[in-house]
Structure 1
Amino acid sequence: MTTSTSTNLKIPELKKHLKDFDHKELIEVITELYKLNGDVKDYLTLKFNGEEKTQELFDRAKKAIEDEFFPAGGHGKLRLAKAKQAITDFKKLTHDDAKTIDLMLCYVEFGTEFTTAFGDIDERFYTSMLSVYGDVISACEADESLFEQLHERLYEVVAGSDGIGWGYDDQLMIMYESLRWLDD
């Protein structure tokens, strides 16, 4: 049995080849990439249309997260990895830290709402929610303006978690109360 090994170009090799292209050829290559790949299309649209595309990608990611908990039809599948991937993909494309943190908080909000509506889940679920909430708290700890923007929602997650098992509500409260901006 013969196996064919195909290797992708390394970045330096790609750059070398691209330097040999004239302006028109580069435009053709970029246009073909745009047509072939949705991520490239999103990236280039973001590059040229900025905030409008960022908001569209934010809305798309938020909807993808929400659909894992509360899809339009049927029951949530709770594919937490898929919901987190929507956050990662948004961050990778936009590099918008504030909106990424907002999506992370949405993840915890939807998760808290889900467990309130449908009852206790499992330890893995709560560990994921607490981990992401902790990351949001850390970002707010480092940026007072971000805290000011999100503090009401941060508290609403805590308030909405009252009585949820696995110590979830207690851990959220401890993290929230650790914020230094609350003392000001």
Structure 2
Amino acid sequence: MTDLYKLNDDVHHYLSVKYLGEETIQDLFVNAQKEIKDEFFPDKGFGKMRLAKAKGAITNFKKLSNDHFRTVDLMLFYVEVGTEFTNTYGDIDGKFYDSMNSMYDKVIVECEKDETLFKEIKDRLYAVVAESDGIGWGYHDVLEESYYSISWLEE
């Protein structure tokens, strides 16, 4: 078992979460955020914008931590950073916006199931809609439609 722990990072993280708890989950969360951000805005150079790698960071965090709230937070963070990227560098392409819209929709679905979650992140959800205004490919319209599909939760 010790050899497996040393050889495989996923096993290492899984066992750390299982036995070390909250501090390890927070470290994994921060690392996942960094992985996502680095795909768009690395410390040096230009972002490679590998969407699969950024989404993989979310999937790995979810598998290792089983932390629902932070997983949804990372999903929204992905959309926030993607929106910031396109506002910084200009319109990308339809595939990029499809990925952003799909992830945003997944966050919306989770908010429909959990009003407390929605209340925690509603300002960020709306901020993405506001920040997307003027972006092409119908991006803003799709985000706005998704957001207002759950706005009744605010009442």
Same fold (TM over 0.5): yes
Match of 1:138 among 109, 128, 132: 109
Matched, 1:37 2:8: yes
User: What is the CA distance between 1:143 and its match in structure 2?
Assistant: 0.2
Q: Following the alignment from structure 1 to structure 2, what is the Cα–Cα distance between the partners of residues 70 and 113? A: 10
Q: CA deviation at 1:31?
A: 1.3
Give the corresponding residue for 1:153.
124
RMSD of Structure 2 on Structure 1 (CA): 0.7
Alignment partner of 1:60 is 2:31: yes
The separation in 2 between residues aligned to 1:49 and 1:62, in whole angstroms, is 20
Deviation of residue 71 (structure 1)? 0.4
| Runs of 5+ consecutive residues of structure 2 not aligned to the other structure | none
Hey, what does 1:107 align to over in structure 2?
Answer: 78
Q: Quote the sequence identity (%).
A: 59
Normalised by the size of structure 2, how large is the TM-score?
0.97
The equivalent residue for 1:17 is none
Amino acid across the alignment from 1:58:
F
Structure 2 residue aligned with 1:88, among 40, 54, 59? Answer: 59
Q: Please state if 1:181 is matched with 2:122.
A: no
Higher relative contact order (CA 8 A, sep 6+): 2
Is residue 2:17 matched to residue 1:46?
yes
Q: Does 1:97 align with 2:68?
A: yes
Matches of 2:10 and 2:138 in 1, distance apart?
40
Bigger radius of gyration among the two: 1
The 3-state SS of whatever aligns with 1:71 is: coil
- How many residues align? The count is 154
Structure 1 runs (4+) deviating above 6 angstroms are: none
